Amino acid sequence: MKNRLEELRKQKGIKQEDLASVLEVSRQTIGSLENGRYNPSILLAFKISQFFGLPIEEIFIYEEETK
């Protein structure tokens, strides 16, 4: 699943560490999300959505895998 997390975070001028603190996760989790190595839990996705004031689907882009 792709996401716009890094783009949105940089637009707000927020460091990974600061976003992680607000969301109560590690900086490594934020890095993994931004690099597409980790998909968030539904709870974390909602927290991110609320933080940025955007619907989840504007932050996380679901793409079906082609077979």
7-43: pLDDT as tens digits: 999 999 999 999 999 999 999 999 999 999 999 999 9
SS3 18: helix
Largest CA distance in the chain: 39
* pLDDT range class, residue 63, cuts 50, 70, 90: confident
Domain extent listing, the chain: 2-61
The neighbouring-strand residues paired with 44 are: none
Only one residue has tokens 């996705």, namely: 45
Q: Classify domain 2-61 by CATH architecture.
A: Orthogonal Bundle (1.10)
User: What is residue 67's predicted lDDT score, i.e. its pLDDT?
Assistant: 65
Mean pLDDT, residues 45-57: 98
User: What is residue 49's predicted lDDT score, i.e. its pLDDT?
Assistant: 98
CA distance 18 to 26: 10
